[in-house]
Structure 1
């Protein structure tokens, strides 16, 4: 086998996928291919956010290792570099700017599309404004900009490249590599808010089409006034989310049809999400949080000789090791995941927990999730312990009720902090992003 395809979907919750038990038929393509392969039903991102999750998916490390999640260090090894160095043609296609060349993800690719913008006149104006206008004027401009979204639902610009265009780019690469050993990665952004699905997919779940302006306005209400969201608005939001998933699923089907025409049946396919999302279960929408709904993700691997289902705990750092191991390549020493082939074909599995953390202006946020518990520790906020067997929705903080469990989990966090410290890299700095990049990230809900 010398063909590998990795498909990742931004913000896809496991509980909105058919083979995870979702009652709506939103993922027929994903379900069909999952049934042909190994389904890992207890897979988790190490932290629920794109820039915290992709170091695991593409470099086999947890978010704070090698200098942290600000940028990929020169000491890290990208999945693309392993395949490229082994003589594979490599192609990567996405439009999430946190995984762009500016953040160090462009190494090892023969073809790389990240939709990073050229500096526009608008960007130049924003830079001029930032330099020449005082803070009060800038705040007024930003509030006016946000007001247009909140009150009028005005679409303020392009957030990401839609799935059909991303599929077109990937198909062109697939057709060009029919005779070569190939690794391709395609990341779809449509399931990330704002939800702007095509009308034909909205019609499957909604009686009347929701305009882009209405959808953007509703998104702002979820962010700014979650307590004011009505039951009808909530259902509309879920309908739009599911419509995006079904649109994305159809485009994955279109890609896989061409893959099988061009590559044949002998290829490895892995599909996952970088994280899930919060839909007000804990009183808020979005955000890089450390709870189950944000971190439980779908994951399957097909194209090898297995079609089983596994509920062992899996972290997304295990994915790159699995892909290179499956084609007989050596796993780099600076990757910290395990190959899922050990679980599937040998019945052995070393992982006992999924650990990950990040730092922001409020300090360190870190969690350890084992099969029964999730301990969430904040530097400047109250900690929390959830007993997942009794409380899968994580609504009751039982910190203090189980001191032996808490002590053991805190020791695991201390060991992980030592690992993070041992991999500290001096070459990682926050990239100086253009104003266009910052604005696109803000409009996707990120704090750039």
Structure 2
């Protein structure tokens, strides 16, 4: 059986609905849909160790994965499937999910568009070769949005990232050349800010399409200066985000249709998920800040197995369960060092849900930003200097300040605190055990953060 893993950057679970993503909604209705999947971090660097290696971000010193052969406690899904004879290929346009951070481990072919796109190379040249204190760099920075639009026009790219349609074409070309079982991973970047969907998708959610520079300007304002965003601008940001989600919907459907036309789909396990969600005005933010609100942590998780019927599974699962779920679906043993467990246990009624889901971010602040979410919906958020928050998100899903229960000191708060303290201590021991990725102080990391819009 083949394996197709599609991850969508920044896709909230609630956007998989008939109005925004009807094709994906129909796909989920015909598959195993896990309605309470929790991302193990609010960003790509925090989530992809969970997806590819079933490891918490906080268990590895630095970003990404260790070098192959340097840490026997870490093995990726791709390495596991390649050992079983699968041809393996990955397609991504996110630096933090690329070979730069060793996510090419186990992939016979890795297409990392972020290192190949002309626009990416041009921006990288500016970042690397101009004096950041000099007048030319400061001028470019001051007109960043307009310069981006000029770069896009000059290089023929109408998007900050390579479009899902292009990644589909590359992956399908690779599939056409396969004679044995294959594992393909595609990571769509379209729903990641800046939201700049093609005009026909913008027309579905806005009165009229916005120019590229306006799209990017709104994104930067919402991400870096949300206190300045007007109500009308929040409406535009939400419409642009939904337009990108609608574009992703069409491209995911096109990929499945193309595999069906090739006679591949009936023998392919398809897993659809996201690395994290997105805020579009909630809590005064856009994008995915290092915080743990439901809009950031709740992601879709859908498994379509050729030999399994459709079902909706409400128990809590986590992204660290992705790799064990895939190997279980294939009848393979999970790697002993994986932190997660197969979500198929929930679908089969063997367990009711994972008792705790943990999320972490940030070595440089000693993981003081972290979260524990219990299967019954109780949740503790630690936002470092911003304080702690405790919610029953099933009762108060909006997580408003008045819903915070920390002042009441309910027993659930004490239980979540103990669980989160234990998790942080275990992560510390694992880091000290020698699992090392890319140092967060590496200059490359800062460049990639700027490329992806996390830093101005």
TM-score by length of 2: 0.88
1:144 equivalent in structure 2: 139
Query: What CA distance in whole angstroms lies between the structure 1 residues aligned with 2:295 and 2:101?
Result: 27
Query: Is the aligned partner of 1:367 residue 2:362?
Result: no
- Mapped contact 1:222–1:229 kept (Cα < 8 A): yes
Give the CA deviation at 1:334: 1.1
Structure-2 change in CA distance of 1:141 and 1:229 (3 Å)? same
Q: Secondary structure in 2 aligned to 1:249?
A: helix
Cα distance in 2 for residues equivalent to 1:189 and 1:124: 22
- Name the stretch that deviates more: 36-45 or 264-273: 264-273
Q: Is the 8 A contact 1:374 1:386 kept in 2?
A: yes
TM-score of the two chains, using structure 1 as the length reference: 0.89
Q: Deviations over 1:39-90 (max 9, x none)?
A: 1111110111111011111110111113253544542211100000110011
- Deviation string for 1:146-179 (max 9, x for gaps)? 32136888455663211111111111122222x3
1:270 Cα deviation from its structure 2 partner = 0.7
**For residues 60 and 109 of structure 1, do their structure 2 counterparts lie closer, same or farther at Cα, with a shift above 3 Å needed?**
same
1:142, distance to aligned residue in structure 2 (A): 5.0
Note the alpha carbon deviations across 1:100-141, whole angstroms, 9 max, x for none. 1110111111111112426957645644545xxxx7x24x55
Flag the 1:71–1:145 CA change in 2: closer, same or farther, 3 A.
Answer: farther
Residues 92-101 or 418-427, more deviating: 418-427
Greater shift after overlay, 188-197 or 61-70? 61-70
Residue 348 of structure 2: SS of its match in structure 1?
helix
- Counterpart in the other structure of 2:341: 338
* Aligned 1:30-429 pairs, distance under 5 A: 30-72=24-66, 74-75=70-71, 76-117=74-115, 123=124, 126-130=127-131, 137-138=133-134, 143-149=138-144, 154=149, 159-177=160-178, 179-262=179-262, 263-286=264-287, 287-303=289-305, 304-349=307-352, 351-364=354-367, 365-370=369-374, 371-396=376-401, 397-424=404-431, 425-429=434-438
CA distance 1:191–1:155, change in 2 (3 Å): farther
Bigger Cα displacement from structure 2, 102-111 vs 425-434 = 425-434
- Following the alignment from structure 1 to structure 2, what is the Cα–Cα distance between the partners of residues 81 and 214? 43
Q: How has the CA–CA distance of structure 1 residues 401 and 180 changed in structure 2, closer, same or farther, with 3 Å as cutoff?
A: same
Whole-angstrom CA distance in 2 between matches of 1:126 and 1:96: 17
Once residues 146 and 129 of structure 2 are traced to their aligned partners in structure 1, the CA distance between those partners, rounded to angstroms, is 28
Deviations 1:371-403 (A, max 9, x none): 221111244441221221332111132213124
How far has the Cα of 1:350 moved from its partner? Answer: 5.6
Q: 1:151 to 1:250 in 2, by over 3 A?
A: closer
In structure 2, the CA distance between the partners of 1:429 and 1:217, relative to structure 1 (3 Å rule), is closer
Q: Distance in 1 between matches of 2:147 and 2:170?
A: 34
Gaps spanning 5+ residues in structure 1: where? 19-23
TM-superposition CA deviations, 1:258-289 (whole Å, max 9, x none):
21233141221110111111122111222232
Q: Distance in 2 between matches of 1:367 and 1:329?
A: 31
Q: Would the alpha carbon gap of residues 432 and 314 (structure 1) be closer, same or farther in structure 2, given more than 3 Å must change?
A: same
Which deviations, in whole Å up to 9, do the C-alpha atoms of 1:315-370 show, x marking residues without a partner? 01111100011111110011011101211124324610101212254442111011
